Structure 1
Amino acid sequence: MREYYITKNDSGQRLNKFLEKAVPLLPGGIMHKYLRLKRIKVNGKRTDAAYRLAEGDAVQLYLNDEYFDAPREEEAFRRITQPRLRIVYEDDHILLADKAPGMVVHADERGGADTLIAHIQAYLYQTGAWNPADAASFAPALCNRIDRNTGGIVIAAKTAEALRILNDKIKERELEKRYLCIVHGRPQPAAGLIENYLRRDEKRKQVTLHRQRVPGAKTARTRYRTLASQDKLSLVECELLTGRTHQIRAHMASIGCPLLGDGKYGTNELNRPYNETGQALYAYSLTFRFEEDAGVLSYLNGRTFTAKEIPFVRKYFPSFQL
């Protein structure tokens, strides 16, 4: 028999959702069967899958060991002895990390532990801010993602409550995200709004833009303004009004100004003189603009956080001040 004591992070969720995370190898059909047979109990009593767990509850599982054999996903953090993190901000509920270009946020098809989330979990574990033994179904998690070759601010939730709130706020677009990029040429006009439809091609891992709505396409809107120009390059700030895959890269290329180093939407001919192999794109600014109550995160409303160091700005526009 295994027993889990429900902490604040695990409370408030349905029993079946808790079990899906705590015992991922347990099939749903068997879970419901074992609930009926009282091989899964809460506080020593029979209960149903819809029961809302409360802090202090005890969940007893009379299950075979085979259902617990798989390692939990977050165990990758244990292989990291020296976390590599650039922390922009941290409190009891969230951590804002400045992800370096080249690092993946989650494990990709190649697997491995060298991911942003693993380094964040390792840092929180080693500093005592998080102990996986204290919450059977929750681990610190990322609320947004950034492409491997894009740098910038990524939000990590340190508590289940913060994760629920931020996921909702991101869905309602109550977070303002601004990016800096270097593009070839000079955008005309110098500032504007790009609005069309974007469709993702899963096989090519690329998107196409359309003036009219086509099957599978979603609205894509980017506001941009040119901050500086010199020689054949321009420094541009982009604000995402929608959050589609490769949106800024495709949008800037569509007005004849592909990102420096972008081989997917730009051309090798343009990039070759600069010897850049990754797109010059950085999620440098994040502002919380809550329109509705944000519960324990209300204190963040109206606050802006920015990345301190953006390598390609220093390299190509050294006199520009953010």
Structure 2
Amino acid sequence: MKEIIISQNEAGQRVNKFLLKYLNKAPSSFVYKMIRKKNIKLNNKKIEGNEYVYIGDTIQIYMSDETIANFREDVSGTHSTSSKKKIPVEIIYLDENILIADKPTGVLSQKASKDDYSFNEALIDYLLDSGHITTEELRTYRPSVCNRLDRNTSGLILCGVSLTGSQELSRIIREHLLHKYYYTLVRGRLTQKLDSTCYLQKDNAKNKVRISDHPWEQGKSEEIHSIFYPVKKNDDYTLVKVELITGKSHQIRAQLKHLGYPVVGDTKYGIPEVNRYFSDSYHVKHQLLHCGNIIFKETDGPLSYLSGKEYSAFLPEPFRTIEKDLFG
């Protein structure tokens, strides 16, 4: 008989979901059969399978160790010392539920293919190294990034350390209970706050989006909303603080181009001559776009302790040097 004690990282899910991850090589029909035959119990009681598990609950599996081992495959492996050194991890905040980190440019937030080593994997390795999670816990729950940043966008990224943390962060983002502020450098002089609502349409073939002031007559379009604040400016460039109200792919870059303020370094929506100057002068190879601040609004539930909390990440290089050179 095997007894499993539910940890913080595993609490908050239905017992059948937990079992299908724990016995990840077993057919679901086998797991439900074991539940019906009372070979699997929760807190020594018969279950239906739809009960929720909480911290400290115990699951009893009345099978031999050999049988259990045959129905389990180790999927916890992300520990790659050589890969880990390629992605620096700067932690801004960490507790038992959530992690906030500063993602560097040039790094995927999450895997795009099976063999990718993304920032998500780097964070998991950090949590393993620091003892916040164990390889055993990874069998039934893997910490996950909750807000994706484009590969070449840097800044604050949120990760659910526990299942509860992941569920609550996803809810907070979905219900717009989080202020997100980005910083970018644009070509053009923006002199006052600009509150803009537009419509975005994806072009999947080109991996780009189109922006219009009105819904597109053909194809699906999505309403987007951003607020742009000039922070520093000269005759040719503006450092802009962006409050992201909606969060669609390429939203900030494409919307600013539509409004006449293309982002410096942006190879998809920017100005080639401007990009060439900053590439030659500062070795800029990507858009200058950085998620610099997040503020949690008032919220209830397990993450209510984050209400009103603000977290920040400094501009990275060469963005910081460019800001100083342009605006003093």
| Fold similarity call, TM over 0.5 | yes
1:224 to 2:262 alignment: no
Task: Tell me if structure 1 keeps the 8 A contact 2:228–2:240.
Answer: yes
In 1: Cα distance, 2:292 partner to 2:326 partner: 15
How does the TM-score come out when normalised to structure 2?
0.85
- Out of 249-258 and 193-202, give the one that drifted further: 193-202
How does the TM-score come out when normalised to structure 1?
0.86
Work out which of the residue numbers 287, 295, 308 in structure 2 matches 1:302. 308
In 2: Cα distance, 1:109 partner to 1:135 partner: 20
In 2: Cα distance, 1:303 partner to 1:118 partner: 26
DSSP-derived class of the 1:98 partner: strand
Alignment of 1:169-318 (within 5 A): 169-187=172-190, 190-214=192-216, 215-230=219-234, 232-275=236-279, 276-290=284-298, 292-295=299-302, 297-318=303-324
Deviation at 1:320, TM superposition (A): 8.3
From the superposition, tell whether residues 47 and 298 of structure 1 become closer, same or farther in structure 2 (CA, over 3 Å): closer
DSSP-derived class of the 2:320 partner: helix
Alignment of 1:26-41 (within 5 A): 26-38=26-38, 40-41=40-41
DSSP-derived class of the 2:195 partner: strand
Work out which of the residue numbers 120, 139, 145 in structure 2 matches 1:117. 120
In 2: Cα distance, 1:51 partner to 1:293 partner: 23
Residue 93 of structure 1 corresponds to: 97
In 1: Cα distance, 2:221 partner to 2:294 partner: 27
In 2: Cα distance, 1:64 partner to 1:127 partner: 29
From the superposition, tell whether residues 56 and 78 of structure 1 become closer, same or farther in structure 2 (CA, over 3 Å): farther
- Out of 167-176 and 78-87, give the one that drifted further: 78-87
In 2: Cα distance, 1:199 partner to 1:26 partner: 42
Q: In the alignment, residue 210 of structure 2 is paired with which amino acid?
A: T
- 1:274-310 CA-to-partner distances (Å, cap 9, x unmatched) read 21321110000011112x3133x32221121111243
- 1:87-123 CA-to-partner distances (Å, cap 9, x unmatched) read 222234322111100111212226233x212222222
1:49 to 2:49 alignment: yes
Task: Tell me if structure 2 keeps the 8 A contact 1:6–1:59.
Answer: no
Q: In the alignment, residue 310 of structure 1 is paired with which amino acid?
A: P
In 2: Cα distance, 1:267 partner to 1:186 partner: 15
In 2: Cα distance, 1:318 partner to 1:246 partner: 26
In 2: Cα distance, 1:313 partner to 1:8 partner: 39
From the superposition, tell whether residues 2 and 238 of structure 1 become closer, same or farther in structure 2 (CA, over 3 Å): same
Q: Which structure 1 segments of 5+ residues have no match?
A: none
In 2: Cα distance, 1:236 partner to 1:102 partner: 22
Q: In the alignment, residue 49 of structure 1 is paired with which amino acid?
A: G
Query: Alignment RMSD, CA only?
Result: 2.8
Residue 127 of structure 1 corresponds to: 130
In 2: Cα distance, 1:43 partner to 1:304 partner: 40
In 1: Cα distance, 2:179 partner to 2:149 partner: 15
Q: Which structure 2 segments of 5+ residues have no match?
A: none
From the superposition, tell whether residues 92 and 81 of structure 1 become closer, same or farther in structure 2 (CA, over 3 Å): same
Task: Tell me if structure 2 keeps the 8 A contact 1:7–1:135.
Answer: no
In 2: Cα distance, 1:248 partner to 1:197 partner: 12
From the superposition, tell whether residues 261 and 23 of structure 1 become closer, same or farther in structure 2 (CA, over 3 Å): farther
In 2: Cα distance, 1:191 partner to 1:312 partner: 26
Deviation at 1:267, TM superposition (A): 3.5
- 1:178-224 CA-to-partner distances (Å, cap 9, x unmatched) read 0000111223x632111111122333222122333344222100100
- Out of 245-254 and 34-43, give the one that drifted further: 34-43
Residue 21 of structure 1 corresponds to: 21
Task: Tell me if structure 2 keeps the 8 A contact 1:10–1:136.
Answer: no
Alignment of 1:73-92 (within 5 A): 74-79=76-81, 84-92=88-96
- 1:2-34 CA-to-partner distances (Å, cap 9, x unmatched) read 653322332332112213433444444444344
Equivalences, count: 316
Deviation at 1:53, TM superposition (A): 2.2
In 2: Cα distance, 1:311 partner to 1:216 partner: 38
In 1: Cα distance, 2:289 partner to 2:109 partner: 16
Task: Tell me if structure 1 keeps the 8 A contact 2:106–2:151.
Answer: yes
Residue 167 of structure 2 corresponds to: 164
- 1:205-246 CA-to-partner distances (Å, cap 9, x unmatched) read 221223333442221001001112235322111100111111
